Structure 1
Amino acid sequence: MDFIDLKTQYAALKDRIAERMQHVLDHGQYIMGPEVAELEAALADRTGARHCITVSSGTEALLISLMALNLQPGDEVITSPFTFAATAEVIVLLGGKPVWVDVEADTGLIDATQIEAAITPRTRAIMPVSLYGQTPDMDAINAIAARHGNLPVIEDAAQSFGATYRDRQSCNLSTFGCTSFFPSKPLGCYGDGGAIFTSDDALAQACREIRLHGQSKRYTHTRVGVGGRMDTLQCAIVLAKLERFDWEVQERLVRGQLYNAACDAAGIARIHQRAERTSVFGQYTVRVAQREQVQERLKAAGIPTAVHYPVPMHRQPAYAGLCDRPTPVADRLAGEVMSLPMSADLTLAQQDAVMQALRDAVAA
């Protein structure tokens, strides 16, 4: 059993992917070809955001967004320590300081009730992280930002493209939405890729220039920028996958709900989804004691697992000491979370096998 079944997905989309890629090979515009603008228009339309700017990775999406906001050395960005390193590294690369706010015990998402206490005169932005396919409480976060001088809010939506919050799409919930098309994501390409979403015209223009080495036109470098373009071939692959994406989101929801019911019946703690939100179940995550032993038992039964994330950012050597705000819930979750096989093509028989093995492993 695969942890994420990309092979079955490819088999279903093989012809369309081949057609899309062949079209790129025929026209030969491998950088900024017509598929780039086509994908941007399709993604903007899907989310409702005015602008979509494709970029070379989800990390680059966060970095370019902060550069568009002109983050300066010493500026503070409030975020969650329970995340992948990309969230923090883009802040530090620009000379900023990540300010950790603890997470909710049942969701792993940043606790909006603790954000206001972390705001200082140096706060430049708030970067809430969507996790396991679900967004944080974005209305509460936006309200806090508005009370403090309309602080920009950047949704790190690397795991939640396709999810909704109060019937609005992830990536169109704040100043910026940034997502990733890494192959394991719910909507992934076959390499690196990402996108920035915003409805602010000036910020969108800044992002477009920054991703092209700061060029406002060829060889006119208006800003300091990066080489942050998404390859035309990768855009073509995402366009092919987008044709099946609505179906995949629905299938992920069904499988997530089946996992939820099975975990609740077995008394196995899990990550919860809020009633006003949908999840794309980028991962399906439970909480277990003695995690390493449980993982070994599942491995012996042929069930792959993964941990997102075993060490929170404030415990990582490169980031230790940057911020001393306590985050006990993030520390606890980091020692308990474990993700199970999840994809739109996961069969009911496979899910039953996973849950039986999990029940046995936890009981042993």
Structure 2
Amino acid sequence: MNGTGNTHKRYGHGLVLGKFYPPHAGHHHLVRTAQARCERLTVLVCAASVESVPLADRVAWMREAHPGAEVVGAVDDIPVDLHDPAVWEAHMAVFRGAVPDPVDAVFTSEEYGTELARRFGAEEVCVDPARTRFPVSGTAVRADPAGCWQYLGPAVRAALARRVVVLGAESTGTTTLSQALAEHYRARGGVWAGTGWVAEYGRQYSEQKLAAARAADPAATWEDVSFTSEEFPLIARRQDEEEERAARTGSPVLFCDTDSFATGIWHERYVGGRNPEVERIAARQPRDLYLLTHHADVPFEDDGLRDGPHLRPWMTDRFSEELHRTGRRFLIVRGDRETRLKTAVAAVDELLDRGWHFTDPLPENR
């Protein structure tokens, strides 16, 4: 039975099933509609092993977006054939294994909804099958995430945003370049107008330490401030938190003035040696491109939080060595401010032009 005509009928247990590869506004509209009409709603996320977005990520994204629903996941490596009863039964074995309780209504926007509901012994409820409310599909998102950005939720945006980190030694123009890049892409307008910029938390932390030192001794200078190894994981975690927050609300590209990976080099600079916890933190979130600001062509300026002009060549070398060692994609930028920005924009444009790669879902015979 098709439940399209009765928009007021309520159900006990509803089901929404999909790949959510990745989830978009149309999916969320479907789930919200089902939630409004069911006492209890299960969202079943089905992913094939060949697909490039892990099942666990999709389940987490849907749980975040719909905390009132029960979101479960299942691996379904069976190709779709809407005309083969044996294939249907194989799929249903997966579905029933993940959702063993009786289902009263299946909410769907897909052509297979009628048969899916019949096999669950449930009523079919069609929700915007023409996609007039949200003209988007998983296929469209995979083909052009930037073009579909407005239909993506915060968690998916954070996962897909291209993250570009500008890092370098003291007084080498990382803040200037990263802010200029963010302004350049905001000027494109449209979806790019929301391009984010993440400040260096370590600098804010340093300002607070200097202020605390001066509260105890008004004559204190930066030379009177010292760091312990335990402080650097705190800085790295906070840097990552700020980055993640910005990625969830920005455009398809995000610019960061340093990151948790760079915090490891600053640990060497102020404490000596590596900090394993900082390295673990830095490994959790991949970045797409690093721009290393060379110390040449930028005169050292002491702003009250710097004391190591002689260490700039060493730091440039250490950043380069660690970027190489860890296999991170990076580019060294040199020259005056205009040249650096031009070089950086070209590298970021190349990154964006490569687009996003999603492996194809399993073939479907409709």
Give the TM-score normalised by the residue count of structure 1: 0.20
Whose RCO is larger (CA < 8 A, sep 6+)? 1
| Structure with greater helix percent | 2
Q: TM-score, normalised by structure 2?
A: 0.20
Report the structure number with the largest CA radius of gyration.
Answer: 2
